């Protein structure tokens, strides 16, 4: 059963099995894959109690890593339903995660490291003192003032044109 892909039904059975095995309590909600997740391994929905798992993690790192992600999400699930600390910063969450050997963070998917940050494209310049503020996105300078002297700002493209 070392397949790199599986259906939502197989994922549901797997999550139910892990819940009973690691937590001793059944998982009574829905687990499904969501291919749109890009920077996270999975997520837990507090209102519906459903869990979504990133299928790219399964393809890239296999079942053992995804099992740790499932345990992470099940910690959120079971702690939330019990009214205990279910957030990442809570001691209950950290203790349960350690006990069931879940992952604190998922591995970075191949290709995500290659993304470069966008360069600065705009510059705000104070009309009074000349203080410069670099920005990646265009913004309306009429809504802002200089943090140094309080004067108006002027927006320039980094090539120098207004």
Kindly state the DSSP code that residue 143 receives in the 8-state scheme: G
Q: For this structure, is 52 an active site residue?
A: no
- Report the b/e string of 33-55 with b at 16+ CB within 10 A: beeebeeebbbbeeeeeebbbbb
Other C-beta atoms lying within 10 Å of the C-beta of residue 78? 19
- 2, 10, 65, 73: the catalytic one is 73
Kindly write down the DSSP assignment for every residue of 118-141, as one continuous string: PPP-EEEEETTT--EEEESS---G
Q: Among all residues, which ones are annotated catalytic?
A: 73
């Amino acid at each position: 059963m070392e397949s790199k892909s599986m259906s939502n039904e197989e994922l549901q059975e797997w999550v139910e099995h892990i819940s009973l095995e690691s937590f001793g309590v059944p998982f009574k909600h829905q687990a499904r894959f969501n291919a749109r997740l890009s920077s996270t391994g999975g997520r837990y929905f507090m209102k519906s109690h459903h869990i979504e798992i990133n299928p790219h993690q399964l393809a890239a790192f296999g079942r053992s890593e995804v099992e740790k992600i499932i345990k992470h999400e099940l910690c959120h699930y079971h702690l939330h339903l019990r009214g205990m600390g279910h957030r990442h910063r809570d001691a209950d969450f950290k203790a349960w995660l350690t006990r069931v050997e879940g992952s604190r963070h998922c591995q970075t998917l191949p290709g995500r490291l290659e993304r470069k940050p966008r360069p600065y494209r705009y510059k705000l310049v104070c009309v009074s003192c000349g203080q410069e503020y670099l920005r990646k996105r265009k913004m309306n300078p009429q809504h802002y003032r200089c943090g140094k002297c309080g004067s108006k700002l002027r927006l320039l493209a980094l090539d120098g044109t207004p």
